[in-house]
Structure 1
Amino acid sequence: MALKLIAKQLEKLYQEIPEECGFSAGPLEDDMLHWEASILGPEDSPYHGGRFWLRIDFTADYPFRPPKIIFLTKVFHPNVEPDGKICIDFLQDEWKPSYTIGYLLMAICSLLLHPHPDNPAHQEAANMYLSDPEKFKQTAEEWTKLHAPLDV
Structure 2
Amino acid sequence: MIKLFSLKQEKGKAAAAAASGEGKIAPGLIRMQKDVSELKKEKGVEIDFYNGKADLMNFKVKISPDDGFHAGGHFTFDVKVPNTYPHDAPKVLCETLVFHPNIDMEGHVCLNILREDWKPVLTISSVIMGLQFLMLEPNADDPLNKEAANMLAGNRRQFAETVKRSFRGGPMMINGKQYDFPRQG
Q: Name the TM tier (shorter chain).
A: 0.7 to 0.9
CA contact (8 A) 2:94 2:107 kept: yes
- Root-mean-square deviation (Å): 1.6
User: Where does structure 1 differ by over 6 angstroms across 4 or more consecutive aligned residues?
Assistant: none
Q: Which has the larger radius of gyration?
A: 2
Aligned counterpart for 2:117 among listed residues 74, 91, 94: 94
Post-superposition offset of 1:3:
0.8
Query: How do residues 11-90 of structure 1 correspond to structure 2 at under 5 angstroms?
Result: 11-14=37-40, 19-20=42-43, 22-30=44-52, 31-43=55-67, 45-90=68-113
Gaps of 5+ in 1: none
Identity over the aligned pairs, expressed in percent?
Answer: 28
CA contact (8 A) 1:77 1:115 kept: yes
TM-score w.r.t. the length of structure 2 is 0.73
Post-superposition offset of 1:66:
0.4
CA contact (8 A) 1:79 1:122 kept: yes
The Cα offsets for residues 60-119 of structure 1, whole Å up to 9 and x where unpaired, read as 100101001111111111111111111121110110111111121111111122222112
Higher RCO (CA-CA < 8 Å; seq separation 6+): 1
TM-score w.r.t. the length of structure 1 is 0.87
Residues 121 and 96 from structure 1, CA distance in 2 versus in 1: closer, same or farther, beyond 3 angstroms?
Answer: same
1:140 aligned to 2:163?
yes
CA–CA distance in 2 between the matches of 1:11 and 1:26?
A: 14
